[in-house]
Amino acid sequence: MIKPRHLAALLFAATLAPAFAHGTLETASPKNGATLSTPPSEIRLKFNEPLEPMFTSLKLFGPSGQEVPTAEKAHVEDGKTVVLRLPTLAPGGYKAQWMSVGRDGHHLHGELSFTVK
């Protein structure tokens, strides 16, 4: 049998869990490690929490390791999705690197890679 004070402690702990959760990447298009027969027209990263647009970036590096120039910088849509529109990509391996700050102030960063045939 659970004592009332233990139950109260468990309920309190359960309410703290969301407060300590940080933003994470939910989905990416293209997916990490994908091999594509058609070059993507954009990279789209969806997070589980809102992002600070002023502190969000997404860059793509091509087969030579150089940054791929794009017509515009990445932007945040719907508060949680980062989008980078791409020029037509040549065949080869690509690496996308992203960084942002969640509304909770937590820094987010990561990378994904894909190959265009």
Write out pLDDT tens, residues 70-105.
Answer: 999 999 999 999 999 999 999 999 999 999 999 888
pTM, to two decimals: 0.82
Given this model, what pLDDT does residue 1 score? 59
List the Cα angle 84/89/93 in 5-degree steps: 95
Cis peptide before 30 (omega within 30 of 0): yes
The predicted-structure confidence for 26-63, as pLDDT tens digits, reads as follows 999 999 999 999 999 999 999 999 999 999 999 999 99
- As for how many domains the chain has, the answer is 1
Which residue range is the domain that position 51 belongs to? 22-116
By the 10 Å C-beta count (0-12 exposed, 13-18 middle, 19+ buried), 88 is classed as exposed
Given this model, what pLDDT does residue 5 score? 57
Any idea what the CATH number is for the domain that residue 83 is in? 2.60.40.1220
Q: How confident is the model at residue 15 (pLDDT cuts 50, 70, 90)?
A: very low
Residue 1 within any structural domain of the chain: no
